[in-house]
Amino acid sequence: MIIGYLSMIAFASIQLHTHIPLLPLISVISIYGVINTLSWLKLRRRATITNNTFFLQLLIDVTVLTAILYFTGGSTNPFVSLLLLPLVIVAATTPRHYAWAMAVITIACYTLLMFFFTPLHKMGEHQSSIFDQHIVGMWFSFLLGVGLIVFFVVKLADSLRAREQTINDAREKALRDEHLIALGTFAAGAAHELSTPLATMAVITKELQNEFTDQPEISGQTQLLREQVERCKQTLTQLSARAGQSRAEGSSIRQPLDSYLNNVLQQWRLMRPEVTMQPQWHGTQPAPQIMADDTLSQALTSILNNAADASPQQIEIIGDWTNQQLQLTINDRGTGIDAKTLAAIGTPFVTSKKEGQGLGLFLAHAVIERLGGNISIDNRTGGGISVKILLPLTSLVIGHP
């Protein structure tokens, strides 16, 4: 708008040889430029503005346009129709009372310009040609008004669509959080219900082991049962911690990134000893120090389990990191996923397994996104799935709320 004002003033003064008060016009436009610069700087610091602030900005636009019209013929200036533009913007974006207020203000400005204005004078020519110029000016003003209104309405429509998409994303996130809360509540209840029978089993297996010390075969089997029971108890303890009852003891341990990844793989190999896999680590050395996160470990374990279920003999994990970001790629050579399932994977109860529920990948997605990262899943050429995890290390280096 500022460039347009300056261009029309220059055109009227130089090309049309119209006598207009340049000093007051330049002063008004300069003040307008300062106000717009301050508004732009304020908007950079704050992503959203209130309706009152937005209305005030448009009110400044109307005031400046009215002042320019006052010095350039008032209501006889064909560009007086530009007063409609702020009204269109207000009517399209703000509540009704703002639109009515702007309508009253623009009508008042137009009315005042009918009685108070600086007449335009043609330098060195007869006044009979003024009316012809006025007609041409009205035509050009109409074209300019249509162009500006279409431009601003399209921009507003794009902004409204973007806001609607933001609202939809927030609604989906809230729905996902509800699922997580429900799963956390269920996990806490299950951990509480299973703790008593597991404690009973631990006591009985210990007594059986003591009773059959003279029979190595039975004693060995009893020892195996005790170890499995203890493992179940540890899993329930971690489950309770992730459900919010307590914080796991190892969650505040600080260690190098490569050591953390090796520890996760070591724990996973205890559960899946039949799987053959050699990790490939590439990154800066020494590796950045991170805070070990149990939920991230569980997310990686879920993804590794999915890969092992699909292709126990051909799994590869590739880690590449800098001081700011970790990229993990987990590849398998299974049967892959059809396009429909691939588009919906990561949501609850969507899975390609016959007996799965899709909760593992759902929780993995939630954990990675909570830490500021993202997961992408694609079919590999030649069969199988490739899971890529991009994770900024800032949340792990300084901790994450």
State pLDDT tens for residues 225-241.
Answer: 888 888 787 777 766 65
pLDDT category of residue 215 using cuts at 50, 70 and 90 = confident
According to the model, what pLDDT value does residue 336 have? 74
Residue 246 is predicted with a pLDDT of 40
| Residue 292 pLDDT > 80 | no
pLDDT of residue 126: 47
Structure tokens at 73: 């013929």
47: pLDDT strictly greater than 80: no
Cβ 315 vs Cβ 328: under 8 Å: no
- β-strands 121-122, 18-19: how paired? antiparallel
335 vs 249 pLDDT, higher one: 335
What is the mean pLDDT of the segment spanning 212-219? 81
Q: What is the crossing angle of helices 216-242 and 130-211, to 10°?
A: 150
Tell me what the mean pLDDT of segment 276-302 comes to: 81
- What 3-state class would DSSP assign to 209? helix
Position 123 confidence tier, pLDDT thresholds 50, 70, 90: very low
Mean pLDDT of 52-73: 91
Q: Specify the higher pLDDT residue, 181 or 113.
A: 113
**Among 25-29, 72-76, 149-153, 179-183, which stretch is predicted with the lowest mean pLDDT?**
179-183
**Is residue 179 within 8 Å of residue 348, measured between CB atoms?**
yes
pLDDT at position 116 over 70: yes
Query: Is the predicted pLDDT of residue 117 greater than 60, yes or no?
Result: yes
Kindly report which listed range (32-46, 121-135, 205-219, 253-267) carries the lowest average pLDDT score.
121-135
Q: Which CATH architecture has domain 252-397?
A: 2-Layer Sandwich (3.30)
- pLDDT at 32 (0 to 100): 93
Task: State residue 375 phi and psi, 5-degree precision.
Answer: -120, 135
Band (pLDDT 50/70/90 cuts) for residue 245 is: very low
pLDDT of 63: 94
* Helices and strands in the chain: count of H runs, count of E runs: 12, 9
pTM of the model: 0.44
Taking every pair of Cα atoms in the chain, the longest distance, rounded to a whole number of angstroms, is 127
Phi-psi sector, 399: left (phi>0), alpha (psi -120 to 50), beta: left
Q: Does 288 have pLDDT greater than 70?
A: yes
